[in-house]
Amino acid sequence: MNNKKVISLLPYILVISIMVLLITFGNGSNTKEFNYNEFAAQAENLSFKEVNMSMGTTVIGVRGTYQNGDSTKSFTVSVPRTDDNVKWLSELFEKNKKTKVNVLDANKESVLEVFLKSVLPFLILGGAAIFLFSRMNAGGNNKAFEFSKSRAKIESSIKVRFKDVAGCDEEKEEVKEIIDYLKDPKRFTDMGARIPKGMLMVGPPGTGKTLLAKAVAGEADVPFFSISGSDFVEMFVGTGASRVRDMFKKAQQHAPCIVFIDEIDAVGRQRGAGMGGGNDEREQTLNQLLVEMDGMGENKGIVIIAATNRPDVLDPALLRSGRFDRQITVNLPDKKGRYEILKVHARNKKLAKDISLESLAKRTPGFSGADLENVLNEGAILAVRDKRKMITMEDLDEAIDRVMMGPAKKSKKYTEKEKRLVAYHEAGHAVIGLKLEDADKVEKVTIIPRGEAGGYNLMTPKEEKLFPTKADFMSQITGLMGGRVAEEVMFNEISAGASNDIQKATKIAKAMVRSWGMSSLGPIQYDDGTGNVFLGRDYGSGSNYSGEIAYEIDKEIRKIINECYDQAKKLIEDNKDLLTLIAENLIEEETITSEQINNLMTYGKLTSPEQEQRKEQARIEAEREEERSAQAQAEAENPTQEAEDNETSLKREEEKQKAQKSFEEALKELTKHDSEE
């Protein structure tokens, strides 16, 4: 059992012990206490069993037991010590030979025994009270002194290395100087260089900021202090500042070391923002952090690494040179980075031989490192669930869908009309993707419900671009309009299934007009891009454009959406046959892949002639193998028939050879006759 659990149980054990002692001493009240006259009157009639006489100077203490009916009862009495009483007691107890008499000298009785009998209960009670009081103090006042201590966790030996971090080669190059400095600071000081005191890692969630910080500590082989920004701030003002001081004090004792602050925006938000002037505790904590990083004193050998996905809300004083000198952006990985990340996370996975991590990386644009790790983990879980020994491509395909949209809701049943509507809706997206030049490539189309969606298209960019153009955004909006247009063209009605498509299209169109200058309003930014990070930030300040411009912005957004809608409608009407072909196969199969879609476009069916030929050959081979197995089994079961068949075959072979020999002889004779003529 854990020692802490034992200590927590001690008060209960003491309370139970005290209750037992009290009960024991309470049972002592059952002893009959005679006075001298009463004992003298009743002694002749009592049947004594055991008697102890303590011979004092003036008093004889008598205690023992006597028979009281069917039970035995204790008694005690004090008799004055006279010669007559000594003689009387001796004669009284000698009458009954069954009585056991013990004569004790009162002067030889242990002083310690007397002391313990009289004082021990009070000692136990006092000790229990003192123990309980100390425990109460430990839970209150003593912990009050630890309340202001730093909660940073220290790890001395980090096992993470750069080989465990993939998809961020440029970011690794940026932090290599920190590793060199921690290993050999003299090289930098001799050159007069000052290593950055702090590095701020910025990027979307799941891109590996914490993992990269650990890898820096692992490569440098220095202690690693890790703490979250929320661990500083408490309800009591001044606690966070005290914890910051304590953290840097501990870090100095372990220098050189790395202090990693995760989610620093929890404590480093801009001061003075918000209704009412901000938060005193958070601002005091931030002030202390600013002082410790670049105040009056120096923290030699301490490198601060912080991570956040909200750099826009951080205080400017925190980001200036001398504090966080270097800002490293950890972006979502590209195709090559995703492939490297998948290789790292696939080390301990049992993958089937036909799995291509490169094609998997191509199908997962926009996935972070955490998402990719989750895909492989979900695939492993699915393989275990289906009792397979290897992870197959089907498992990973389902895992991608789960990470993106959630598990398939196979129990959700469509009506026949709804199923056709969803099939044509998804087929509309697919047709736009196939026929529009700048549209994304269609990888898979399904009408199986997932999450809030009734079906979806998995579409990936033909090539990943760093700077998308206006044509790319227009193609995205056109593709999003494909489902709604297909419903309108084929059923002359529209459903609520396109709500998410409309939301995404509107967001892109707004950004094109307000942020990217991709409209007739010109290259002017009408969106300040800061957003209301806090309640009260820019409170009361109006928009930076007039109402007339707002009207023009709405017109431009509507113009973009309508233009893309008209283009989608023209493509759908021009390719109704392809739309119907894809939709009808979707209704039948529920899910079709990019290869099957290409076969539909080329051959009008899901399989190509080559695939059908390979399938037919596989069927013929299977039939032949089955025949051979049946023949072998029959021969094993009927060996006599096998011998007869062999004999028949030999006879036929002999007859064949004789006929061949006769034919050759006749041919020679004929040849000889012709030559003579």
Amino acid sitting at position 5: K
Q: Token pair for residue 78?
A: 């004090």
426 is catalytic: yes
Phi-psi region of 451 (alpha: psi -120 to 50; beta: other; left: phi over 0): left
- In angstroms, the Cα distances linking 519 to 436, 469, 636 are 21, 13, 83
Do 540 and 592 contact (CB within 8 A), yes or no? no
What DSSP designation does 279 have? Answer: -
Distance of CA 254 to the CA centre of its chain: 31
What DSSP designation does 224 have? Answer: E
Q: How far apart are CA 391 and CA 284, in angstroms?
A: 53
User: Which of the following is catalytic: 171, 340, 426, 443?
Assistant: 426
Burial class (CB in 10 A: 0-12, 13-18, 19+), 586: buried
| Residue 282: partners with Cβ closer than 8 Å, 6 or more residues away | 233, 240, 267, 269
β-pairing, 59-68 with 47-55? antiparallel
Q: Where are the beta strands (DSSP E) in 191-338?
A: 198-202, 224-228, 257-262, 302-308, 324-329
Distance of CA 509 to the CA centre of its chain: 36
Q: How far apart are CA 425 and CA 454, in angstroms?
A: 10
**Long-range Cβ contact pairs of 398-405 (< 8 A, separation 24 or more):** 399/374, 399/375, 400/360, 400/363, 400/364, 400/375, 400/458, 401/446, 401/450, 401/458, 402/378, 403/367, 403/371, 403/374, 403/375, 403/378, 404/458, 405/450, 405/451, 405/453, 405/456
Q: Token pair for residue 178?
A: 């920190």
Q: How far apart are CA 87 and CA 91, in angstroms?
A: 6
Do 599 and 607 contact (CB within 8 A), yes or no? yes
Q: Token pair for residue 288?
A: 């202390």
Alpha helix (H) residue ranges in 140-238: 141-146, 169-183, 186-190, 209-220
Give me the half-sphere count of Cα atoms (radius 13 Å) on the Cβ side of residue 554: 7
Q: Token pair for residue 327?
A: 């800002």
β-pairing, 302-308 with 257-262? parallel
* Closest among 126, 17, 128, 34 to 73, alpha carbons compared: 34
Binding residues for ATP: 203-210
Q: How far apart are CA 91 and CA 221, in angstroms?
A: 93
Q: Token pair for residue 510?
A: 């707004």
Do 424 and 582 contact (CB within 8 A), yes or no? no
What DSSP designation does 76 have? Answer: E
Cβ count near 222 (within 10 Å) = 22
Do 560 and 514 contact (CB within 8 A), yes or no? no
Give me the half-sphere count of Cα atoms (radius 13 Å) on the Cβ side of residue 191: 9
* Closest among 466, 479, 481, 433 to 365, alpha carbons compared: 466
What is the phi/psi pair of residue 328, to 5°?
-110, 120
Binding residues for Zn(2+): 425, 429, 501
Q: How far apart are CA 366 and CA 368, in angstroms?
A: 7
Do 128 and 14 contact (CB within 8 A), yes or no? yes
Paired with 80 in beta bridges are 59
**Residues annotated catalytic, as ranges:** 426
